[in-house]
Structure 1
Amino acid sequence: MGADRAGGTRRASGRAVAYVACGVVLLAGCASMPDRGDLRDVESTPRQDTQVRVFAMPPREDAEPAEIMQGFLEALTSDDPHYETAKQYLSENAAKKWLPELSTTVLANGPDTATDLTGSGEEGEDYSFTLTGTKVALLDVQQSYAPADGQYSRQVHLVRERKSGQWRIDGLPQGVVIGESDFQRNYMSVNKYYFASNAGDTEAGTASQPAAVADPVYVRRRVDPMTQVVHSLLNGPTSWLGPVARSSFPTGTALRKGVRLTPDEQNRLTVPLNGKAARVGTAKCDEMAAQLLFTLQSLTPAVDEVELRAGDRELCDLREDQAPAVAAVGSAHQAENLYFLDDKHRLVRIPADSRTTSAEPVPGALGEGATPLRSAAVSRDEHTAAGVGLDGKALYVGSLASGGSLGDAVLLSAGKTEADRLTAPSWDARGDLWVADRDPANPRLLLLRDGKGEPLQVSTPGLDGRIKSLRVAADGVRVALVVEKDDEQSLLVGRIEWERVGEQSAVSIRELRSATPELTEVAAMSWAGDSRLVVVGREKDGVQQMRYVQIDGSTPEGPAPDALTGVQEIAASEDDRLPLVAHSSEDGIVRLPSGTQWQKVVKEGAAPVYPG
């Protein structure tokens, strides 16, 4: 994770022996370890080749407490699948009780270690160390990532065992503690895929085609990640996504015990399941296979086809090219055009996948310029557009068809200044229009069903501040908000929940969480993938930067976009084949096609958007 992050540096211990021919690194706990006294800080190891697997060495005979402690911490950074070597540093009782899979705590520079106390206990001598550090993140038992801050402090207790005379750890915190660069080396983010549920209110696909929703988790990079992530997929969505997502796998479905998943030479993966899946019908089985294909698309070796089996019976078989007919990933409609406002404040467009710089006004009233606009949004089917007037007071909706009239505003803000009125709107996948009114006397998040009628006020429990901008994800169950409070702007991602109240529908945004905890100013953002956003902002006392972020607050692998000066607005598509587009105060509308540098489109223009 995070190609823009620098790897940490470990103080040389003289304990690593590399077997290059086998692609293995052994972390040994012997030669230069101190016999007594405080430990050296266990800093994170430098980044290493991803093909090199790292294994720890078991404890040396008659090793002293400091060496046992150091060896155990080294073992936590290894690629040992079940931490069996780490358990050799524990007493028999502690090894039985320790649950490494319960959580992973990520510290900025690895755990600092200090001798806490020495004395005598029931088993003879005992020894304690305190592990400390600055928290960066936490993986929970579902492998879900969450940014963390504050100080970490936990005690580890060692005792000299009466029978063996060896020092062993007999008291330690549950889970694993690891340095940030070791985490980046050992773990990778993978999107599991489920289907939007929400009682059908936010289904992004059609009635016969569910909408796939990405659910990012972290798995250990070199510990059979394919099998890991399938286990995680079968266990169901993470707690955060669970209320708005469903799995087509029947409850209790699991891999057959002892199975290790590997595709054959034709990239065909056979997935043997237990009896819980034995009676699924063909349509349900195709959805299960589609979930697997979507989930495994980023892993190697490649999986082009999935066969599901229960016992000796084949349940179904699905190829990668058949999966889009089963479920929609991202928008069901591919973006045909890029839209922006020209120097006459008209809505104009250019083909999304072309290199042309010649824009034409959209058909209909919003392209005629009679009502000057300051922001706009286009429905995902590109049949309708919404625009906010130049003073921010009025929201208009019009057809993108020749001769279409605009009519009266569908929404008015009573805010006294332009900054206290309407944000740029956003369309969700089912054709509803979202906009926030920033009026300090009555700040509201509003939704217009099909872009018309009486606005429905969206409940936002836990929201602290005013919404500056918003973008609804293509899956229809998540929304990204830039929220402003005390001259700071933060990027939050929330879950869209629908419920029936009598004969009416009610909608709310739940469990808002930060996607950029280190940024104090977010100038612009846009969805740029199934679980990724592109963000323009700055850290406290820092300079403006552009970066990709995951919805869980982690940094995705790969480079950040090329730097660009004076970015005021940004637009990306969930389809990563389409270029990133920005409005720069210096260069106007510019775009960044894959593998190239920023290119100027037009000098005078603003508010670029893809459909959505």
Structure 2
Amino acid sequence: MPDSGDVQQVKASNPGDSQVRVYAVQPRENAQPDEIVDGFLEAMTSDDPGFATARKYLTNQAARAWKPEQSITVLTTAPDREQADRLADAENEGRSYPIRGRQIATVDARHAYQPRNPAEYKDFIHVVQQPAADGKGREWRIDHLPSGLVLSEADFQRNYRSVNTYYFASGEDWVVADPVYIRQRQDPVTRMDPVTQTVKALLEGPTNWLKPAVDSRFPSGTELKEGVTTLATDDQSTLKVPLNAKADRVGGEVCRRMAAQLLFTLGDLTSVRVEQVELQRGSDGGRLCVLSKAQAEEFAPVRDSGLAENPFFVDEHGSLKTLPVGGKEDAEADVSPGPFGKGATPLRSVAVDRDESRAAGVGKDGRELRVASILTDHELRPALVTSTAARPDDRLSAPSWDGRGDLWVADRNPVKPRLWMVPDGEGTPVEVRAPWLTDGARVQSLRVSADGVRMALVLKEKDGSTALKIGRVERAADGAGATVSVADLQPVAPRMEAVTAVSWAGPSRLVVVGKEAGGVQQVRYVQTDGATSATSVLPGLNGVTAVAAPNDDKAPVVADSGNDGIVRLMPGANWQRLVKIAGSSPVYPG
């Protein structure tokens, strides 16, 4: 260690450089059935090109039929291989080995992660004797195995990483994130590096769940030029992407949007810095179009203004205040302009639109939803939505704005629970089609993504339990006018038995407050596809009733803690009390 000189800041090395790698070992001569099964299960976790070594544990027919790229079954731990029941297969002297585990997720052929409630996983591997390769004697090989890959959660996280592919919201000119999983290093099947895998995943189109609500600007059938397995930037940080002939005739504006999809998608890869994309024709390699990262920003659902986002909250008197997140601990809150800041009507909850020009507030008794300017002192307008429920907690939820300027709120009335959307925050409220609001289920809280395509919902079931789901927002026009629905709800945090609050924290990430069975309350990041990691848990905080996160990482996470009041979490620090006065409903725009 140096004993003199100034302290200097240095950048940490890439954590991926020190990742553990598993190298497959081929079966030894005269290996016993137990060794064959164990060796194959281990070889499945490797990066061996083509899974060639893993296939050496299989019979020729099984090796040809096995398609590891079709699906992944994710277990909590490595599959538990039990002893074979020899009596069950005595006729042909084969061995059948049961394998078990606790399944927590699957990944399909489109690389989409699907969490599930932990459930018992059961399958088996069957081995038989076949003539040895040299024609002398016989050797054990696997002739039946589970489809795809079967990996522990640790092996899955070691081998795969999440990236956001981007598509355009249907009928709109902004992009929507669609998370998928690619290999951390070279893909064993395609031999593609991570950048090329990511581009290939984008060209394959959106995941089945998001497909009804988004469009790709790439013509149907567009793929990378045949034989391309590596894509690298030049000294100008330009990535040249050669496409097949399907894209040869695209026009300039369509091509710009194709390039924008690529730029947003590649922005998630920390291993490569892409400042612009050049798309090339498959027929002659000529240039189709070039788009820079700055030019692609026009297609973002939330424009980067360069300024930190401002959070808001409701003080103990029901007035709207602005939080000074960059100030010192126990700072003074700023009064928000407009009727809500002056306390014209005491508020229970609030939401501020993405432009920070209007606020939507639910009154103290939870009965009425109103919208008011937060820039001028205009007169307070009449209520847009009203609830007739008997109890305040059964009335209106906290509202939420999407990036289109539409306003959303749920009526939690147990007699008739409903979901409402107010076009542009001032039009005639539209009742949202939500067929899943049956049999006692109610929306406890909701948050709509900036792109307006996805909705995070905390649902309260008939038995009193709460669960976090994500729904797809679909808009259509019929003879009676526009219809809006929230469809195909998917679990996001199935291992959490009680969810208290949720907030969007970027294009495909949520901050969730809840607890797992037998555990304590946690505040953690969760991907919208339900994937989590051990590093996603935030520092402990008790009694959290509300949480708010910025769209980017320029501002802290803010929460309402019953013990400490309104608190913030800066990167690399612990929770700090933000303001002296009591308050609730902390929110960022959205």
Q: TM-score, normalised by structure 2?
A: 0.89
Could you tell me how far apart the structure 1 residues matched to 2:82 and 2:323 are?
62
TM superposition shift of 1:559: 4.3
In the alignment, is residue 110 of structure 1 matched against residue 87 of structure 2? no
In the alignment, is residue 269 of structure 1 matched against residue 239 of structure 2? yes
In the alignment, is residue 387 of structure 1 matched against residue 361 of structure 2? yes
Q: Using the TM superposition, name which of 73-82 and 458-467 deviates more.
A: 458-467
Could you tell me how far apart the structure 2 residues matched to 1:161 and 1:434 are?
64
Could you tell me how far apart the structure 2 residues matched to 1:320 and 1:94 are?
47
Could you tell me how far apart the structure 1 residues matched to 2:339 and 2:224 are?
57
Evaluate the alpha carbon distance shift between residue 355 and residue 286 of structure 1 in structure 2; reply closer, same or farther with a 3 A threshold: farther
Aligned to 2:448: 472
In the alignment, is residue 235 of structure 1 matched against residue 189 of structure 2? no
Any gaps of 5 or more consecutive residues in structure 2?
A: 1-14, 187-192
Does structure 2 retain, via aligned residues, the 8 Å contact 1:331–1:474? Answer: no
Aligned to 1:570: 547
TM superposition shift of 1:304: 2.5
The superposition leaves residues 185-219 of structure 1 with CA deviations (integer Å, 9 ceiling, x where unpaired) of 1111111111111xx3xx4xxxxxx2111111111
TM superposition shift of 1:488: 1.4
Aligned to 1:322: 295
Aligned to 2:190: none
Aligned to 1:246: 215
SS in structure 2 at match of 1:166: strand
Does structure 1 retain, via aligned residues, the 8 Å contact 2:167–2:261? Answer: yes
The superposition leaves residues 527-560 of structure 1 with CA deviations (integer Å, 9 ceiling, x where unpaired) of 0011100011112332111100011111157443
In the alignment, is residue 215 of structure 1 matched against residue 213 of structure 2? no
Evaluate the alpha carbon distance shift between residue 336 and residue 145 of structure 1 in structure 2; reply closer, same or farther with a 3 A threshold: closer
Could you tell me how far apart the structure 1 residues matched to 2:70 and 2:22 are?
22
Does structure 2 retain, via aligned residues, the 8 Å contact 1:123–1:159? Answer: no
> Of 185, 190, 195, which residue of structure 1 is paired with 2:163?
190
Any gaps of 5 or more consecutive residues in structure 1?
A: 1-46, 204-209
Aligned to 2:189: none
Could you tell me how far apart the structure 1 residues matched to 2:394 and 2:464 are?
14
Could you tell me how far apart the structure 1 residues matched to 2:528 and 2:287 are?
37
Which amino acid letter does the alignment assign opposite residue 493 of structure 1?
A: I
Could you tell me how far apart the structure 1 residues matched to 2:124 and 2:572 are?
49
Aligned to 1:77: 45
> Of 318, 323, 347, which residue of structure 2 is paired with 1:373?
347
Does structure 2 retain, via aligned residues, the 8 Å contact 1:119–1:126? Answer: no
TM superposition shift of 1:142: 0.8
May I ask how many residue pairs the two structures share in their alignment?
A: 555
> Of 385, 390, 396, which residue of structure 2 is paired with 1:411?
385
Evaluate the alpha carbon distance shift between residue 456 and residue 335 of structure 1 in structure 2; reply closer, same or farther with a 3 A threshold: farther
Aligned to 1:513: 490
Equivalent residues in 2 for 1:294-373 (5 A)? 294-299=264-269, 300-311=271-282, 312-325=285-298, 327-330=299-302, 336-350=309-323, 357-373=331-347
Which amino acid letter does the alignment assign opposite residue 302 of structure 1?
A: R
Could you tell me how far apart the structure 1 residues matched to 2:345 and 2:296 are?
44
The superposition leaves residues 222-244 of structure 1 with CA deviations (integer Å, 9 ceiling, x where unpaired) of 22222212111100000000001
Aligned to 1:90: 58
In the alignment, is residue 489 of structure 1 matched against residue 457 of structure 2? no
Does structure 1 retain, via aligned residues, the 8 Å contact 2:314–2:585? Answer: yes
TM superposition shift of 1:265: 4.3
SS in structure 2 at match of 1:182: helix
> Of 394, 408, 412, which residue of structure 2 is paired with 1:434?
408
Does structure 1 retain, via aligned residues, the 8 Å contact 2:324–2:332? Answer: no
SS in structure 2 at match of 1:366: coil
Which amino acid letter does the alignment assign opposite residue 605 of structure 1?
A: G
In the alignment, is residue 135 of structure 1 matched against residue 103 of structure 2? yes
Does structure 2 retain, via aligned residues, the 8 Å contact 1:72–1:89? Answer: yes
TM superposition shift of 1:319: 2.5
The superposition leaves residues 297-352 of structure 1 with CA deviations (integer Å, 9 ceiling, x where unpaired) of 22213222322112321112222232213x11446777653211123211122466
TM superposition shift of 1:477: 0.2
SS in structure 2 at match of 1:381: coil
TM superposition shift of 1:591: 1.5
Does structure 1 retain, via aligned residues, the 8 Å contact 2:302–2:403? Answer: no
SS in structure 1 at match of 2:311: strand
Could you tell me how far apart the structure 2 residues matched to 1:350 and 1:117 are?
66
Aligned to 2:257: 287
Aligned to 1:10: none
> Of 513, 525, 544, which residue of structure 2 is paired with 1:548?
525
TM superposition shift of 1:466: 0.7
Could you tell me how far apart the structure 1 residues matched to 2:332 and 2:495 are?
39
In the alignment, is residue 607 of structure 1 matched against residue 585 of structure 2? yes
Could you tell me how far apart the structure 1 residues matched to 2:19 and 2:233 are?
19
Which amino acid letter does the alignment assign opposite residue 472 of structure 1?
A: V
TM superposition shift of 1:124: 5.7
In the alignment, is residue 169 of structure 1 matched against residue 138 of structure 2? no
Aligned to 1:424: 398
Could you tell me how far apart the structure 1 residues matched to 2:29 and 2:287 are?
52
Which amino acid letter does the alignment assign opposite residue 137 of structure 1?
A: A
Does structure 1 retain, via aligned residues, the 8 Å contact 2:325–2:568? Answer: no
Q: Using the TM superposition, name which of 328-337 and 388-397 deviates more.
A: 328-337
Percent identical residues:
50
Q: TM-score, normalised by structure 1?
A: 0.86
Evaluate the alpha carbon distance shift between residue 353 and residue 381 of structure 1 in structure 2; reply closer, same or farther with a 3 A threshold: farther
RMSD: 2.2
Could you tell me how far apart the structure 2 residues matched to 1:463 and 1:133 are?
34
Which amino acid letter does the alignment assign opposite residue 532 of structure 2?
A: T
Which amino acid letter does the alignment assign opposite residue 408 of structure 2?
A: W
TM superposition shift of 1:596: 2.9
Could you tell me how far apart the structure 2 residues matched to 1:453 and 1:163 are?
76
Evaluate the alpha carbon distance shift between residue 50 and residue 321 of structure 1 in structure 2; reply closer, same or farther with a 3 A threshold: farther
Aligned to 2:512: 535
